[in-house]
Structure 1
């Protein structure tokens, strides 16, 4: 043992078994990260994720492995969830659909893993996610659709006017509200974008978009 005392055959055998288990766990942990790191780099490149976000995603993923949260979950599922969590920690409004489409992992599995990370991992790392408002998604969609700042400002004003007037957004996806405001704004600015184009970008159905347009249309008339 540590004091130099000879171990009895019984305890020596037990010690050897524990040492073997420890080596196995270490090897398993290292093997997991050996596979995960290039996969993370691939996803980072394809999604265009900044280095600080990728570094935090790796920290999050490493913690999931240390806490043995990998049981029944694939490496890519946990990596995708770690990336999604890191993006939200950094306040970057990327959707789960964007990540799962690139990673080719079912969204339901990634969201389930993300919720686990939210409860079990982020507090341990002193990380907190930022919750995105519809206005944040307006900025994202406006930029990706290459619309003017005028259109962006109108869309934001519509959302704010709706909120001030008592519009109940509880239970409604902020992406859908943002998409509807952008659609209405693009019409007002004569920078027309189709519902199909906007719903595809926002990862919401055209039915949802039409419903949110109907909800917000009345407030567009109140915008200066």
Structure 2
């Protein structure tokens, strides 16, 4: 569609005709007399000279990822430049703090997952938990690496990926990470399965040198199943129960394994293994007494 425009500001530079025709389809303005194609650019159209004083409003501030971009219309005064730089610093500090926190936490989770050789589903679940914590405001004012470690601990337990807490914490405060762990589970309403001592058997055995035979592994699993049937061992760390079961199974088969070696493989202290051994022996003794009574009665 073509319309005729008449304006003193729009005038053909070649013939001086003020009746120009605008083509809406092509977006062009041309002169019907000489055929010159004009446009709204200053080089082709006689527009009035530009004046900074004609602007009666501030130039629009465009913000993208914490950076202020001011349109270069005219010259900025020294005060305006300093104000723009101060605004940029303030926005980088406050506006995108959540994105920056999430980026730092994701980087930490990715590095820790690579070091521990965790599967991708565990890493993605840890990132999802950390993102929910950021959106809910749980990370604000708290240690980001410790919160990321707590998210990774929850993901490992959710997918039953066996990693000890000392491996995941990796230099962070154990007390702080444990507190963040309980905070995330409580505030995000996360349902976690109870860890089973049987899941730690293969990990502990693979770290022992020399590696005990499979008969010891099978006997240790039988001992742990007996504990579960007798409802014994609740409240104790599953790593300690698994290490104690391996020690007792090896002892029954005449294989000598130092308690300290098993404790180091499980990531616990030897005193905890010794106390767990005492609990397991009492449980096995109660099972034997019950079997003897049943034999006498029958």
TM-score range, shorter chain: 0.7 to 0.9
Is 1:158 the counterpart of 2:227 in the alignment? no
Q: Give 1:203-218 correspondences, 5 Å limit.
A: 203-217=267-281
Which residue among 190, 198, 204 is the counterpart of 1:141? 204
Is the CA contact (8 Å cut-off) linking 1:81 and 1:114 kept in structure 2?
yes
Aligned equivalents of 1:148 and 1:45: distance in 2? 31
Aligned equivalents of 2:106 and 2:227: distance in 1? 45
Is 1:97 the counterpart of 2:162 in the alignment? no
Partner of 1:118: 185
- Runs of at least 5 residues in structure 2 that lack an aligned partner in the other structure: 1-86, 289-298
Q: 1:68 to 1:181 in 2, by over 3 A?
A: same
Give, in angstroms, the shift of residue 99 of structure 1.
0.9
**Structure with the higher fraction of residues in strand conformation:** 2
Is the CA contact (8 Å cut-off) linking 1:93 and 1:132 kept in structure 2?
no
Q: Which moved further from structure 2: 212-221 or 108-117?
A: 212-221
Greater Cα radius of gyration, structure 1 or 2: 2
Higher relative contact order (CA 8 A, sep 6+): 1
Deviations 1:91-119 (A, max 9, x none): 1122222211x2x1011111110111112
Is the CA contact (8 Å cut-off) linking 1:90 and 1:129 kept in structure 2?
no
Secondary structure of 2:236's partner?
A: coil
Which residue among 100, 113, 133 is the counterpart of 1:44? 113
Q: How many residues align?
A: 196
Give, in angstroms, the shift of residue 139 of structure 1.
3.2
RMSD (Å) for aligned C-alpha atoms: 2.5
Is the CA contact (8 Å cut-off) linking 1:141 and 1:201 kept in structure 2?
yes
Is the CA contact (8 Å cut-off) linking 2:240 and 2:273 kept in structure 1?
yes
Is 1:170 the counterpart of 2:234 in the alignment? yes
Which residue among 55, 58, 68 is the counterpart of 2:124? 55
Q: Which moved further from structure 2: 40-49 or 131-140?
A: 131-140
Give, in angstroms, the shift of residue 42 of structure 1.
1.3
Deviations 1:63-84 (A, max 9, x none): 1111110133211001000000
Is the CA contact (8 Å cut-off) linking 1:91 and 1:129 kept in structure 2?
no
TM-score by length of 2: 0.59
TM-score by length of 1: 0.77
Aligned equivalents of 1:34 and 1:163: distance in 2? 43
Secondary structure of 2:96's partner?
A: helix
Aligned equivalents of 1:93 and 1:34: distance in 2? 26
Give, in angstroms, the shift of residue 147 of structure 1.
3.2
Give, in angstroms, the shift of residue 209 of structure 1.
1.1
